[in-house]
Structure 1
Amino acid sequence: MTAHRINHQPVFLLAATPWRESSLRLEVFSRRYGRVALLARSARKRQSELRGVLVPFVPMSASWYGSQELKTLHRAEWLGGWPQPQGRALFGGLYANELLLKLTAREDPLPELYSCFAETMRTVCTESNHIAALRRFEWTLLTQLGYAPDLQHDAHGAPVETAQTYWLSPEEPPLPLAQAQGLTQQNAGVAVGGAALVGLREGCFDSPAALQDALKATRLLLDFRLPGGIKSRQVLQQLQAFQTAV
């Protein structure tokens, strides 16, 4: 448990749900305390000072108190920095928020992940091309939580090479595709270029093909951890299907 009173912590709002008549129950992600559940009393009242402050995707400062899992929000200040995301970028922000909500444990400090998330939110909100930032965030999340395979070496201990193609399975090191034999039929996995694996490891993608392969890799690993699916991705896919149909 954290200390009884925490002041002026940088946080991002991940989710807010109504609580009783006029309050909100919040999930925030903080640099020093990880994901924290907060009760924002009277936040839904028209005259509440919190109405324009408790918004997702942008940094804010929060102060809270309490020794139970659900803390009480004492003060919140909007720190600004960038506008709210629009269009497809909105789904990118919702997607990153959902991953943090579903995969992180409460009050588990992950300062490196917080820094990556903050940079991802800035990119999603301010740059038209934010796909690489989302791949970097996914990989940082998987790495920080201990879910990422070793991409330095393949299953035989040889260095991963950009010119090779590998078979990637959850909880297994990459295996050169030529040596995978029947695994491509028996095991859940995807064929991924070595350039994508190196790109994930280093956070830099040298081609659209490597970026697309990186998506295949992170999607495989995330879906393995979230068999119930990722709602924000499903909604975006449904919206795209509807737009195509009309």
Structure 2
Amino acid sequence: MKGFVFFDLDGTLLNGESKVDVATAEAIQTLKGNGYEPFIATGRSPAETRDIMESANIHSGIFMNGQVVLYQEQIIYSSQIPTETVEKFHQMVKEDGYGLTAYNHERFYLVASSEGAKDAYGFIHTNPPALKEDFYKENPVNMLLFICLPPAEEKYKEAFPHLDFLRNTPYSVDVITKGNSKAEGIKRFLEYLNQEDAKTFAFGDGPNDIEMLQAVQHPVAMGNALPILKEIAEFITTDNTDNGIVNGLKHYGLI
């Protein structure tokens, strides 16, 4: 293996309709043929990215902002939020009238419904999941999606100091165990394979990609990325809707 390439999804690997372009999928195939392992690095869960992984032919990933790490579809790291913490969060959300989704690597359900759920999931061109309020009582939970508009999360940050809050859309916030991130997921994977010195590349556009770009040897910001990502990037490629992945991989001679 010559190295590893980590791709954020929304605004990066995916086009404006949250799909993988044919040219991008072909580039990933060429990348693999040239000896590089592609990884998804996303706030989403494996359960909601199966179609994307299949269309891109990528079988490894850093999911839920580092809460779960898969290598060739095998879990090599998993961090769970304690059930009593989810219970307390759930009750607080219901009292305040917000929405909440509980995730693990296999499935995800709304545990508190709200009108905002349509906007939150519509932002990534999907429908809200089914409602199952007691899902977390009998299943492990790796991540919560707190469905709210800013600055609602500020109150919850004070109430749950052992959790991290990552706002990735105007309508929702990823809630994970404090200390985890895409960067930590990459670190754990490289340690698992004893590949700490391997060549590493990462493509991203949003706030939860900052640490990831700082953690790799060759950070790439999309043309549509936030200004702060462009400041720390080694290379700025074109937009995700303008062959950004293909052009970035070509820049480094990976395809």
TM-score (structure 2 length as normaliser): 0.26
TM-score (structure 1 length as normaliser): 0.26
Q: Higher RCO, 1 or 2 (CA under 8 Å, sep at least 6)?
A: 2
Pick the structure with greater CA Rg. 1
